[in-house]
């Protein structure tokens, strides 16, 4: 599958490496596509040379576009990519934005919803924002199974994303489909508990597992 | 231990029943202390007659005051109780507030922090707001161990609350101290993921477990 990774930070690099190892065809979208130092860094992070294009060009040739940009800038950055390059695509949205005071940049409606509304011809699927970049491709590094969440309106797109998550090592039974894109609010809001737990544990490398009831009352 | 339960809804009833069974001395604080029908309901829910006083009188005689009021009203209701009745006490805060549009009533600073600032002579400890009322006293009803969080400035107060949580059936290893009261933001923000998961599972009766890394990288 041809995947355009919009964003070249830790998350974009980790995911590009994971999907590249799984045999997918990666391309980075960057505002600095001609930066040779960046290209070298990305090649090292991914373990292979990966094309670096401007974001719109990267998205145009892809089946799945991944939003791994800072959540505070995602709307503007994807707006610059443009609806034409995104229409008919799956937009796998990983981003969460924080304001300077530590509050969510999208405290009411989620970023996922705002992106879905901005690009009605694109199937936005929110996922992966509840784990650290280092863990996204290494769920087996935990002491036990944990849960990953999916939010989105399009069932086919969620199946596509589910397959990509399995390619990263997340077993089918770890994936929990929360429902429509409005449920992205829960995934994004969880970030604040994530940060609190990270502070208490002294590591970002933990997961959460939904523990179901033993029997329905 | 003498515990004043401010709030007579599902959460207050469940917790009062749990702590009453554990041998603690409960009293309800209610704006309708003379409502005989309410007294009957509370006695049935708790399994024993429990005094029902006005909130300030209930808090005055207690060592631990539990805020089980609606999160949108907690500041006003505890303001009516008054700092004098709360000073020197542990305030175990369980409440989360939602606005009509589904957003948190405290999207930036948490309710826990607002209460701590309103009552500087009181040790606010946020906990229990990540599980449903039915599960608060029945953590063994889950298929496996789950995690409960504590946030607060006062270490002694957190130990007191930890003991009360163990009395409800939560083992010591299930309790995770997140740090100061500002970490209540995480617990409160998690509510939105809680609601999403509840919608997906068709039950509120689930827990979450923090899954630590197998080994530090």
Spatial separation of the C-alpha atoms in residues B54 and B31, rounded to whole Å: 6
Distance from CA of B62 to the nearest CA of A (A): 30
Spatial separation of the C-alpha atoms in residues B95 and A94, rounded to whole Å: 30
Interface membership of B171 toward A (CB under 8 Å): no
Spatial separation of the C-alpha atoms in residues B193 and A210, rounded to whole Å: 11
Predicted complex ipTM: 0.95
Spatial separation of the C-alpha atoms in residues B78 and B80, rounded to whole Å: 5
- Across the interface, of B186, B193, B206, the residue whose CB is closest to A213 is B206
Chain B residues closer than 8 Å to A192 by CB: 185-186, 189-190
Tokens of B155: 């270490």
Interface membership of B105 toward A (CB under 8 Å): no
Chain A residues closer than 8 Å to B145 by CB: 211
Q: Residues of B numbered 54-83 whose beta carbons fall under 8 angstroms of chain A's beta carbons: which are they?
A: none
Chains A–B, number of C-beta pairs less than 8 Å apart = 161
Residue A215, pLDDT score: 74
Interface membership of B48 toward A (CB under 8 Å): no
β-bridge mates for residue A208, sequence order = B210
Spatial separation of the C-alpha atoms in residues B205 and B131, rounded to whole Å: 8
- Across the interface, of A103, A194, A200, the residue whose CB is closest to B108 is A103
DSSP string, A70-116: -TTTHHHHHHHH-HHHHTTSEEEE----B-TTSSBSSSSS-HHHHHH
CB neighbour burial string for B126-163, b if at least 16 within 10 angstroms, e if fewer: bbbbbbbbbbbbbbebbeebbbbbbbbbbeebbebbbe
Per-residue pLDDT of A173-217, as tens digits, reads 999 999 999 999 999 999 999 999 999 999 999 999 999 999 754
Q: Give the fold, CATH level 3, of A2-201.
A: Rossmann fold (3.40.50)
Q: Residues of A numbered 78-97 whose beta carbons fall under 8 angstroms of chain B's beta carbons: which are they?
A: none
The pTM (predicted TM-score) of the whole model is 0.96
Spatial separation of the C-alpha atoms in residues A105 and B206, rounded to whole Å: 29
Question: Contact B211/A208, CB-based, under 8 Å?
Answer: yes
Question: Contact A176/B200, CB-based, under 8 Å?
Answer: yes
Question: Contact B217/A141, CB-based, under 8 Å?
Answer: yes
Residue A111, pLDDT score: 98
Residue A217, pLDDT score: 46
Spatial separation of the C-alpha atoms in residues A126 and A111, rounded to whole Å: 9
Chain A residues closer than 8 Å to B102 by CB: 108, 185
Residue A168, pLDDT score: 97
Least CA distance to B146: which residue of chain A?
A211
Per-residue pLDDT of A94-144, as tens digits, reads 999 999 999 999 999 999 999 999 999 999 999 999 999 999 999 999 999
Tokens of A4: 């355009």
Least CA distance to A106: which residue of chain B?
B107
Residue A73, pLDDT score: 96
- Across the interface, of A103, A144, A200, the residue whose CB is closest to B178 is A200
Q: How many helices (H) and strands (E) does chain B have?
A: 9, 9
- Across the interface, of B103, B142, B178, the residue whose CB is closest to A197 is B178
CB neighbour burial string for A145-175, b if at least 16 within 10 angstroms, e if fewer: bbbbbbbbbbeebbebbbebbebbbbeeebb
DSSP string, B141-199: GBSS---EEEEES-HHHHHHHHHHHHHTT--GGGEEEEESGGGHHHHHHHHHHHHHHHH
CA B11 to chain centroid: 8
Q: How far is the CA of B197 from the CAs of B100, B138, B158, B209, in angstroms?
A: 20, 19, 28, 14
Residue A216, pLDDT score: 53
Residue B6's closest CA among B84, B82, B74? B74
Per-residue pLDDT of A70-89, as tens digits, reads 999 999 999 999 999 999 99
Q: Residues of A numbered 173-192 whose beta carbons fall under 8 angstroms of chain B's beta carbons: which are they?
A: 176-179, 183, 185-187, 189-192
Least CA distance to B177: which residue of chain A?
A200
Per-residue pLDDT of chain B (217 residues; tens, 9 = 90+): 999 999 999 999 999 999 999 999 999 999 999 999 999 999 999 999 999 999 999 999 999 999 999 999 999 999 999 999 999 999 999 999 999 999 999 999 999 999 999 999 999 999 999 999 999 999 999 999 999 999 999 999 999 999 999 999 999 999 999 999 999 999 999 999 999 999 999 999 999 999 999 975 4
Chain A residues closer than 8 Å to B103 by CB: 107-108
């Amino acid at each position: 599958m041809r995947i355009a990774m919009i964003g070249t930070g830790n998350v974009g690099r980790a995911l590009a490496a994971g999907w590249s190892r799984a045999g997918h065809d990666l391309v980075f979208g960057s505002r600095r596509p001609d930066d040779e130092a960046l290209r070298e860094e990305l090649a090292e992070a991914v373990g292979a040379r990966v094309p670096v294009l401007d974001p719109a060009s990267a998205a145009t040739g892809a089946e799945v576009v991944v939003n791994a940009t800072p959540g505070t800038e995602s709307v503007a950055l994807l707006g610059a990519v443009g609806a034409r390059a995104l229409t008919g695509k799956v937009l796998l949205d990983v981003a969460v934005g924080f304001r300077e005071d530590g509050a969510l940049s999208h405290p009411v409606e989620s970023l996922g919803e705002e992106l879905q509304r901005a690009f009605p011809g694109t199937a936005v699927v929110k996922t992966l924002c509840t784990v650290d970049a280092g863990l996204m491709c290494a769920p087996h590094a935990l002491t036990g199974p944990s849960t990953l969440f999916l939010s989105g309106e399009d069932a086919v797109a969620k199946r596509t994303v589910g397959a990509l998550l399995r390619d990263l090592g997340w077993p089918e039974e770890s994936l929990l489909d929360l429902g429509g894109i409005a449920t992205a609010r829960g995934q994004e809001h969880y970030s604040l508990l994530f940060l609190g737990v990270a502070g208490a544990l002294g590591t970002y490398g933990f997961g959460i597992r939904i523990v179901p009831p033993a029997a329905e009352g």
